[in-house]
A and B are shown apart, each in its own frame.
Chain A
Amino acid sequence: MRVLATYNIKGGVGKTSAAVNFAALAAGQGYRTLLWDLDPQGSATYLFRVKPKVRGGVHKLIERRSDVAELLKGTDIEHLDLLPADFSYRHMDLVLGATKRPEARLGRLLEPLGRDYDLVILDCPPSISLLSESVFESADALIVPLIPATLSVRTFEQLLRFVEEQVVDPPEIVAFFSMVDRRKRLHREVVDGVGHRYPQVATAVIPAASDVERMGVERRPVVAYAPSGPAGRAYRALWDETVERLALGPGPGHRADPH
């Protein structure tokens, strides 16, 4: 089981959009995939039409008094299950802080699921917190969306440094430019310049596209309703590049499994 996490300290940069589309693409390739919505806003939960309701709330979950398996929801996509978030997740840091080794907690919770899933994708809320530290410790890789602006590049550098210096077993990092508008000169300059400077930055970029914005109405991943639009194609290219960079191997080809 490999664990990926979409992360950026900044909000609204395309973390959730990447998480749900990656999850759908992975499941389509046969990876038994679990998407864990860690954000009290519950955007990923909403996008899969699942009710933001976690029996026992984040307290019982983190304190391991509820059985994770009981909280899972099958999505409308084969091989993709969701661990939903609800508003109680806003207390995540408080609850984590009360545990013995907060940074190891997520990993411990995921352990029993190792037999059932090939891939877990964590959709993180925007913050630097106990939760993100726990994510850094338990994820094999961080998927980091970057807005093509000079400031966001600075934050990326901070993240690289933090992960390098503070994390015991640092995850790999795959960053990508999100919401890119090639018509804007600044976007072109940042994408081309930064892309060369950091080996972690993927070649594939996600363009600013109305297809993505429509996700909130469709309540499905872009790759499910507009797979061959510019955004759908971009997510697929980015996913393929991510699979290669992380050596995830080819999908187990479960596709023939009819429901």
Chain B
Amino acid sequence: MPRLPAPVVFALDHGTGERRLARWLPGVTVDGATRTVDRILLDTFDGRLHRRGLTVWMEEGRDATVLRLEEPGVADHTAPLAARRADRLLGADLPDGVLGDRLRALIEERALLPQVRIRVRGHSLRICNEDDKTVVRITLDEPSVKVARGVDIPLGRRVRVNAVLGYDREMAKAVAALSRRLGEPAPPLAGEALAAAGIAAEGVSSGVDVALVAQMRSDEAMAAICRRLADVVDDHRPGVLADLDPEFLHDLRVAVRRSRSVLKEMRSVLLAPAVARARVDLKWIQEVTGPTRDLDVLLHEWPSMVGPVPASMAADLRPLVELLERERAEAFTVMRRALTSRRFARAWAAWRELIAEPGFGGPDAARPVGELAGGRIIAVYRSMVKAGSAIGDGSPPEELHELRKRGKELRYLLELFGVMWPEKLVKPLVTALKGLQDVLGHFQDDEIQVRELRGLGPAVAAAPGGTDSLIALGFVIDELTRRQHAARADFSRRFTDFASPDNRRIVHGTFR
């Protein structure tokens, strides 16, 4: 609403009730209405809303469910919610309009998940002017947080002062009168509820910020990084299994991929048999999670892929989406079985045990990590420059895929070990690398998607109305192929940048 001053909330001690408030606030009358509202605090797994100082509640009222955004200093923003699932909200579940758009931009692919559930019993009062017109609305709130079935912890009572549009002066007067008696406004309810329930508002990050110094023993550094990555896997596995949002799987896979990369780059830190076993196990985890991820990406990209399909054919694509969704569901079932299997449990326990205790005994175990990692960065960079320079217009796609793989290794090395060098030297390299990887990524993803869609051909053709779907599918594949060509055309520019004399100088000067 336009120009509505933000509500102000004060903490109330036990003895302060309606009567005392009435003495402090001339014109206050009791509305008589008491309303109980259940609210669920929402945030992404990685705490994106909290980080921006935003609080979002799902509010279950009598007749409707409402999404409420609270932001310091601004009037609450609400929008009705037609929620399908109570356990998570994806971008598409959010309402149309300003509020939904804003949240969608913040959460991206993540789901809003319930953090804590509270119940607020609100008793309403209002301040009226001489015409008996409401000019300020007040509620006495008694919140409690639900920590388990049937277990509610009472939170601090509050008095909430809500402005009525166009009566700012009366609002300011009421707030001033209350702050004389009650002091500073109360801290946000969300924070208190989370603290009472013992939940961290920051969310769970999948970042790896292990403090490394160049002189550290390599086995210690490696173990610390791998333990952190294993924590990310453990943090994200429940979300993967519950299928809450695609980013759980993505982050889990990145952590596994990074662990494999560390294992590969620093294999001389360990003894050969340990490396061999861990390699097999981590690779297996990567493989069993691959198909689901590929289909997640495909389904996510689908709208942009079918964008160029003529409207007259759009309906023919519907069976295709359904097919993809079925395939995804099947892939997920297979993956879930794998991730809950005894094989997984054994593999994961073995990996955990390996990285628990440094003292790996490999030839480079005691070598300073700065030296070892720096050497690897130079070596991988060099091999990329060499391989990339050999790629010409006629080179087979495999060469680009191979370059992308090495690029990933370089990226992980820089991300995991880069903290040991000055940021202003590492950053430009990371930027150039990212530009190159984006192009290579598109090139390969498009190819994978073309392959996957082609693979669907027989199933599509066999379904009723299959011929029309097949024709429409042809359009999609055509478009993907065009996109892939465009990515390829971009390659040489990106690579030139990556392999520029400046970057070569930085690499050789810094990581030696």
Chain A interface residues (CB < 8 Å from chain B): 30, 32, 48-51, 69-74, 76, 81, 113, 115-116, 219, 252-259
**A258→B122 contact, CB < 8 A:** yes
Is B167 part of the contact surface with A, judged by Cβ < 8 Å?
yes
Query: Which residues from B are CB-within-8-Å of A254?
Result: 64, 66, 78, 80
Q: Which of B47-101 contact A (CB under 8 A)?
A: 59-66, 78, 80, 98
Residue of B nearest to A49 (CB): B133
A-B contact list, 8 entries, CB within 8 Å: A32-B1, A69-B3, A72-B2, A76-B134, A253-B80, A254-B78, A256-B65, A258-B139
Q: Contact partner of A72 among B65, B122, B165, CB < 8 A? A: B165
**Residue B166 interfacial (CB < 8 Å):** yes
| A76 and B133 contacting across the interface, CB-CB below 8 Å | yes
Q: Closest A-chain residue to B35, C-beta based?
A: A258
* Chain B residue contacts of A113, Cβ below 8 A: 2
Residues of A within 8 A of B98 (CB): 115
B37, B65, B131, B162: most-surrounded residue (chain A CB, <10 A): B131
Which A residue sits closest to B59, measured CB to CB?
A: A256
Q: Which residues of the partner chain A approach B63 to less than 8 Å between Cβ atoms?
A: 253, 255-256
Q: Complex Cα distance A76/B167, Å?
A: 12
Smallest Cβ distance from B231 to chain A, in angstroms? 40
Q: Contact: B62 with A255, CB < 8 Å?
A: yes
Enumerate chain B residues within 8 angstroms of A116, measured Cβ to Cβ: 1-2
B137 within 8 A of A: yes
B-side interface residues, number (CB < 8 Å) = 30
B37, B80, B166: the one within 8 Å of A74 (CB): B166
Is B393 engaged at the interface, CB distance under 8 Å to the other chain? Answer: no
Q: Does B453 make an interface contact (CB < 8 A)? A: no
Contact indicator A257/B162 (Cβ below 8 Å):
no
The reply to whether B2 and A255 form a contact with Cβ atoms under 8 Å apart is no
Q: Which chain B residue lies CB-closest to A115?
A: B98
Closest chain-B Cβ to A182's Cβ sits at a distance in Å of 34
Overall SS of chain A's interface:
loop
User: Which residues 80-137 of B have a CB within 8 angstroms of A?
Assistant: 80, 98, 122, 124, 131-134, 137
B201: Cβ under 8 A from any A Cβ: no
Give B413 Cβ to nearest chain A Cβ, in Å: 49
Do the beta carbons of B131 and A74 come within 8 Å of each other? no
Given A256-B65, A258-B37, A49 contacting B59 (CB threshold 8 A): no
**Min CB gap A72→B, angstroms:** 5
User: How distant is B104 from chain A, measured CB to nearest CB, in Å?
Assistant: 17
Taken together as a complex, chains A and B put the C-alpha atoms of A69 and B162 apart, in Å, by 18
- Shortest Cβ distance from residue A137 to the other chain B in the assembled complex, whole angstroms: 24
Cβ-defined partner of B139 (8 Å) among A51, A219, A257, A259: A259
Question: Distance in Å from the Cβ of B385 to the closest Cβ of chain A?
Answer: 53
Residues A49 and B132 in contact, CB atoms below 8 Å apart: yes
A64 nearest CB across to chain B (Å): 16
- The verdict on B164 contacting chain A, using a C-beta distance below 8 Å, is yes
A256/B64 contact (C-beta < 8 A), A74-B167, A116-B2 known: yes
Q: Judging by beta carbons under 8 Å apart, are B133 and A256 in contact?
A: no
Q: Closest Cβ of chain B: how far from A168's Cβ, in Å?
A: 29
Which B residues are closer than 8 A to A by beta carbons? 1-4, 35, 37, 59-66, 78, 80, 98, 122, 124, 131-134, 137, 139, 162, 164-167
CA distance A50 to B134 in the complex (A): 10
CA distance A50 to B165 in the complex (A): 12
Q: B124's closest neighbor in chain A, by CB? A: A259
Inter-subunit contact A253/B124 (CB<8 Å):
no
Q: A50-B133, A73-B167 are in contact. Are A255 and B162 (CB under 8 A)?
A: no
**Is B2's CB under 8 angstroms from A74's CB?**
no
Contacts of B131 in A (CB 8 A): 49, 51, 219
Provide the residues of chain B in CB contact with A32, threshold 8 Å: 1
Chain B residues, Cβ within 8 Å of A219: 131-132
With A72-B2, A73-B167 as given contacts, are A256 and B137 in contact (CB-CB < 8 Å)?
no
Q: Which residues on B sit within 8 Å (CB–CB) of A81?
A: 1, 165-166
| Min distance, Cβ B32 to any Cβ of chain A, angstroms | 14
B164-A74 in contact (CB<8A) = yes
Contact B166 A73 (CB under 8 A): yes
- Residues in B neighbouring A71, C-beta threshold 8 A: 166
* A50 partner residues in chain B, CB cutoff 8 A: 133
Contact of A255 among B60, B64, B122 (CB under 8 A): B64
- Other A-B contacts than A48-B133, A256-B59, 7 sampled, CB-CB below 8 A, are A30-B80, A50-B133, A73-B164, A74-B4, A76-B134, A253-B80, A259-B162
Closest approach, in angstroms, between the C-beta of A27 and any C-beta of chain B? 12
Contact yes or no, B66 A256, CB < 8 A: yes
Shortest CB–CB separation between residue B171 and chain A, in angstroms?
11
Q: How far is the CA of A256 from the CA of B35 in the complex (A)?
A: 10
What is the distance, in angstroms, from A219's C-beta to the closest C-beta of chain B? 8
Q: Distance in Å from the Cβ of A248 to the closest Cβ of chain B?
A: 16
Bound complex: CA of A212 vs CA of B137, how far in Å?
28
User: Which residues on A sit within 8 Å (CB–CB) of B4?
Assistant: 74
Q: How far is the CB of A83 from chain B (nearest CB, A)?
A: 10
Which chain B residues lie closer than 8 Å to A48 at the CB level? 133
Given known pairs A73-B167, A74-B165, A74-B167, the reply for A256 and B62 (CB within 8 Å) is yes
Nearest-Cβ distance from residue A193 to partner chain B, whole angstroms: 41
Q: Which residues of B have CB within 8 Å of A258?
A: 35, 37, 61, 122, 139
How far is B124's CA from A55's CA once the two chains are assembled, in angstroms? 31
Least CB separation from A82: chain B residue = B166
The complex places the Cα of A49 from the Cα of B130 at a distance, in Å, of: 10
Given contacts A49-B132, A49-B133, contact A257 B167 (CB under 8 A): no
